[in-house]
Homo-oligomer: A and B are copies of this chain.
Amino acid sequence: MAQQEARQRRPSIHDVASHAGVSAATVSKVLAGVTTVKPENAQRVFDAVERLGYRVDPLASDMRRAKRRIIGAIMPEFESEFFGSMVTELEGLAEQRGYTLVAASSRESEAREKEILARMHDWRVAGVVLAPVRNEHGPAAAFMKAHGMTGVLIDRVLSDDAFDTVSADSFAASAEVARMLIGNGHSHILVIGLAEQAATVRARLEGFRSQALALNPSVRIDVITSEVSVAPLRSSLRDYFGRGERPTAVYSLLLKGTLVALSEFRRRGWHCPDDISLVGFDDAEWMQVTWPAIAAVVQPVRQIASEAMNLLFRRVEGDAGPPTARLEPCQVLMRESVGSPGSGPHSGGGDRQQPPLS
Binding site for B on A (CB under 8 A): 4, 6-10, 55-60, 62-63, 66, 68, 77-81, 83-85, 87-88, 91, 100-105, 107, 118-119, 121-124, 145-148, 259, 262-263, 266-269, 271, 284-291, 348-352, 354-355, 357-358
A146 x B6 contact (CB < 8 A):
yes
Look across to chain B and name the residue whose beta carbon is closest to the beta carbon of A10. B124
Can you spell out 8 A-B residue pairs with CB atoms less than 8 angstroms apart? A6-B148, A10-B124, A55-B118, A78-B85, A266-B290, A268-B357, A350-B352, A351-B351
Task: Find out whether the CB atom of B91 lies under 8 angstroms from the CB atom of A105.
Answer: yes
Assembly stoichiometry (copies)? 2
A79 and B88 within 8 A (CB): yes
Chain B residues, CB < 8 A from A103: 87, 103
Does B284 lie within 8 Å of A286, measured CB to CB? yes
Q: Is the CB of A104 within 8 A of B122?
A: no
Residues in B with CB closer than 8 Å to A88 are: 77-79, 105, 107
A269 near B357: Cβ-Cβ < 8 Å = yes
- Give the residue of B123, B259, B290 whose beta carbon is less than 8 angstroms from that of A59: B123
* Pick from B101, B124, B271: contact of A352, CB under 8 Å: B271
- In the complex the two chains form, is A355's CB within 8 Å of B290's CB? no
A290 to B352, CA, bound (A): 14
Establish whether residues A291 and B289, one from each chain, have CB atoms under 8 Å apart when the complex forms. no
